[in-house]
Each structure stands twice: as C-alpha cells, then as structure tokens.
C-alpha cells in the first residue's frame, strides 16, 4: 500500500489548525493518560445512545493504534486506512454494526499511512467526517491518549469532549494537563469529566472533586462532571468476548452508568 496523501489542504498554514466552529453533535472521548477506558467508553456510549433512539456514528480517531473494531469483534472490509490511501471515499467506509444499532468507521491498527498523516490530510479527513455529521444525531470519536495533532484536530471540532480519568494520581495529573492545554489553545471548549473504574459513585465524585479543585484553583475553570462509571469485572469479560457490555451484561453496574451518561448527554444538548 502507498502512503499517498489524497486529501487536499483546506486553507491551512503549516503547523496550524485553522479555526473551525464546533460541530454540536460530535462528542470526543479523550484522556491525558492511556489505558483509562476511552475506547471501551466510546463503544459503550455509542451503543447506549443508539438504544436511546439517537442515530450514531462511532469514529475510530486513534489513528495509530485503532481498536474499536477489536472491541466489537468487527472485521470490516473497509476502514480509514483505505480512505487515506485513496481506495474509496470516507462515506463508503462506514459499516453498520447491526448488533448495536449504530454505524462504525473503523481504523486500522499499525497503519503507517494513518499514524503519520500530515496536518493537511488530517484536516481533509476531519472535513469529510464533519460532512457525515449531518447524517447522524451523534458522532462519537474515540481518540488516542494525550494531545497530539490528531487529537487536537478532533477536539477543536467537537461540540463537547469527555475527558476520561481514573482515581490514579497519574491519570488525574494528565487529565488536568489535557484540560489546561486545551483551554489555553481554545478557551471556551466544552470539556466534561468522566471518572471511570470508580469503586463507587461516591468515590468517583471525590476523584472528580480533586480534579475540579485544581482546575478552579489554577485555571479558573469548572469543567462539569459528565458521569461516574464504576469498576466492573464484566467490562473485561465483554471485551474478552469482543461484545458490547450492553449486549453481554445489560444489567451490570457499568452498563447502567453508561446508560445514565448517555441520557445526560442527550438531555444537555
């Protein structure tokens, strides 16, 4: 496969992302630290939104290490790598996930052409994605950890970004750094916090309170709590079986927390 760039620059200057107005129905799932549960959350949230009647597209925006398809047990014959290699158009790479009632635009883990997308191509890809946004009630974007240029490009276009953390000090420190840097670059971004793998709702709220204190003290910002998701062994079981938690363990604690998160998201928009 070639690394041919097929997207044309959109009014960009090298190294800068041009201003784009937020796409209200686009929700990014981000974090400072890796491994906090973003991909699982993106998959489960997409399923919950679909169950609550929203037409939803799940976009795998973790360009180097995509694994939405792995968590869902999908083997799509079209994906984002094929799009950037010019084999087909982005809208033709969208596949229906019949079991979940939502659509998926899968990545391709280890794809060099995706991992090394240049700024102009990234913006072209984003523009194509935003065009698709009009066809859906919600677009959920799973991102890689941290704040590299691919993450920034998506977060800048999102109506809202869920910043996922756990109670680990490193995850909290990195969530704070993510919020700080995003706000420095784009003041007024709608950033909301999700505490994942919490021992209880109460503990999760305590974790959020620590992050909020730092944000209010140092940044004069008060990102709201979008939700607390409890640690639940059935999450691992569902991932091992490459099935959405809401299908495999619909009555589990984490499933009910995800449903509540989806409801709040729909109510707030």
Ligand X SMILES: Nc1ncnc2c1ncn2[C@@H]1O[C@H](COP(=O)(O)OP(=O)(O)OP(=O)(O)O)[C@@H](O)[C@H]1O
Contact flag: residue 44 with Mg ion (CB under 5 A): no
- DSSP assignment of 13-46 equals PTT-PPP---EEEEEEEE-SSTTSSHHHHHHHHH
CB of 4 to ligand X, least distance (A): 27
Closer CB to ligand X, 85 or 238, in the complex = 238
Going by their DSSP bridges, the two strands 95-97 and 102-105 should be labelled as antiparallel
Among 113, 196, 243, 252, binds ligand X (CB under 6 A): 196
Among 26, 27, 30, 36, binds ligand X (CB under 6 A): 36
Contact flag: residue 39 with Mg ion (CB under 5 A): yes
> Which range, of 31-39, 87-95, 115-123, 253-261, touches Mg ion by CB under 5 A?
31-39
Among 28, 46, 62, 154, binds ligand X (CB under 6 A): 62
Q: How many residues does the chain have?
A: 269
R_g (Cα) of the chain, nearest Å: 17
Going by their DSSP bridges, the two strands 102-105 and 56-61 should be labelled as parallel
Among 27, 30, 38, 192, binds ligand X (CB under 6 A): 38
Task: Tally DSSP H helices, then E strands, for the chain.
Answer: 11, 8
Closer CB to Mg ion, 62 or 85, in the complex = 62
CB 147 within 8 A of CB 178: yes
- Which residues inside 227-266 make contact with ligand X, applying CB under 6 A? 229, 231-232, 235-236, 239, 254
CB 114 within 8 A of CB 107: yes
Closer CB to Mg ion, 38 or 108, in the complex = 38
Closest CA to 222 of 196, 190, 200: 190
Which stretches of the chain bind ligand X, using CB under 6 A?
A: 31, 34-40, 62, 144-145, 196-197, 229, 231-232, 235-236, 239, 254
- Contact footprint for Mg ion (CB under 5 A): 38-39
């Amino acid at each position: 496969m070639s690394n041919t760039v097929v997207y044309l620059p959109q009014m960009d200057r090298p190294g800068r992302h041009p201003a784009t107005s937020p796409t209200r129905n686009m929700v990014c799932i981000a974090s400072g630290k890796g491994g906090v549960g973003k991909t699982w959350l993106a998959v489960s949230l997409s399923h919950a939104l679909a169950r609550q009647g929203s037409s939803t597209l799940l976009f795998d925006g973790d360009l180097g290490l995509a694994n939405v398809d792995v968590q869902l047990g999908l083997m799509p014959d079209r994906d984002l790598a094929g799009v950037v290699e010019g084999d087909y158009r982005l809208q033709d790479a969208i596949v229906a996930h019949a079991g979940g009632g939502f659509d998926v635009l899968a990545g391709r883990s280890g794809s060099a052409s995706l991992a090394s997308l240049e700024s102009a191509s990234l913006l072209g890809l984003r523009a194509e994605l935003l065009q698709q946004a009009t066809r859906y009630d919600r677009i959920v974007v799973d991102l890689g950890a941290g704040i590299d240029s691919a993450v920034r490009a998506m977060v800048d276009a999102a109506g809202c970004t869920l910043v996922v953390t756990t109670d680990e000090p490193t995850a909290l420190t990195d969530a704070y750094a993510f919020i700080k840097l995003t706000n420095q670059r784009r003041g007024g971004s709608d950033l909301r916090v999700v505490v994942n793998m919490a021992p209880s709702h109460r503990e999760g709220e305590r974790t959020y309170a620590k992050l909020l204190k730092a944000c209010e003290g140092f940044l004069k910002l008060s990102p709201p709590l979008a939700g607390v998701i409890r640690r639940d062994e059935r999450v691992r079981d569902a991932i091992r079986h490459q099935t959405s938690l809401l299908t495999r363990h619909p009555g589990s604690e984490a499933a009910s927390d995800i449903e509540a998160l989806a409801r709040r998201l729909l109510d707030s928009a």
